[in-house]
Structure 1
Amino acid sequence: MKRITIIYIAILSLLVISCKENAASKINDANLETAKERDAINNLGFAIIEFDNTEYDFGTINEDDIIDGAFKITNAGKVDLIILSAKASCGCTVPEWPKEAIKPGESAELKFSFNSRGKPGVQNKSITLKTNTEKITEVIRIKGTVTPKNK
């Protein structure tokens, strides 16, 4: 019984001694400032992406033609708009998006190239953007008709 009492007293003493340090003294001031800046930006909301058009109609073209086009992107939000990636639904469409942040109120272009080789008929391709908007995913479309070449 004396042994158990001594063990309990020893454990209790260790707990009291180990808890002397104030938790506030462990906070890194640099991390606290970084967190405050991040929270201030988050309170502004998400970036808001606006397009001049969400659909590009290239009309009727001949097979083997290459169409180059662009979508105008405007940041209507209060924080920088960042496009993380742009992926086309098909290898025949190659998007080129702005890699740098688009400041609030500013615009940029998302360019694309569509190669109609081997694509006769009605075409409806999409480009999916991954962004820092509230929706995260934005989709724009390219459509038209490709006249088959004579064989």
Structure 2
Amino acid sequence: MKAFGTLLLTFFISISFNAQEFKFEKETIDYGKIHKGAKGERIFVFTNTGDAPLIIKNIQSSCGCTVPKKPEKPVMPGEKGEIKVSYDTSRLGGFSKTVTIFSNAKNSRKVIRIKGFVNNGGSLQKEKNMLSDS
């Protein structure tokens, strides 16, 4: 029993020394007010602050209107990585979506967010319509 306890303790100590962490420059990206059909791609930049390669295993978005793309290769300690997120800007109105990242980090699940408002083209279109009605 002592051998098992010692083995278990050694295992937990080795995990704590090899813990992976990553830190995002921004955990929420605000698109602000954008026009319908505008470019919906944004990039989350993060740094591997751990002492071993960081592997992004999977990324899931909260709906089909948001498409994330994970790094294909492990991110080495001290290096930066990118997660690209594309939002479907053909949907009018406000949005707030989450993207969940699954990795080999100490906290294996991390949530980042996008938010914004898609309008129908702005007041310029309304002014043109008003002038043509006169």
Unaligned runs of 5+ in 1: 1-37
| Paired AA for residue 65 in structure 1 | A
TM-score (structure 2 length as normaliser): 0.74
Give the distance between the partners of 2:52 and 2:12, measured in 1 at CA.
12
Equivalents in 1 of 2:12, 2:27: separation in Å?
32
Q: Letter of the aligned partner of 2:72 in structure 1?
A: K
1:55 aligns with 2:28: yes
If you compute each CA radius of gyration, which structure gives the higher value, 1 or 2?
1
- The 3-state SS of whatever aligns with 1:66 is coil
Measure how far apart 1:45 and its partner are.
2.8
User: Counterparts of 1:122 and 1:40 in 2: how far apart (Å)?
Assistant: 46
Q: Deviations over 1:66-88 (max 9, x none)?
A: 31110111100112111001111
* Mapping for residues 1-151 of structure 1, pairs under 5 Å: 42=15, 44-117=17-90, 119-148=91-120
Higher relative contact order (CA 8 A, sep 6+): 2
| SS of corresponding position for 2:71 | coil
Give unpaired runs (5+ residues) of structure 2.
1-10, 126-134
Identity over aligned residues, as a percent?
Answer: 32
The 2-side partners of 1:88 and 1:99 are apart by: 18
**Residue 135 of structure 1: how far off its partner (Å):** 1.6
Instruction: Kindly report the root-mean-square deviation, in angstroms, between the aligned alpha carbons of the 2 structures.
Output: 2.1
**How many residue pairs are counted as aligned between the two chains?**
112
Q: Tell me if structure 1 keeps the 8 A contact 2:33–2:118.
A: yes
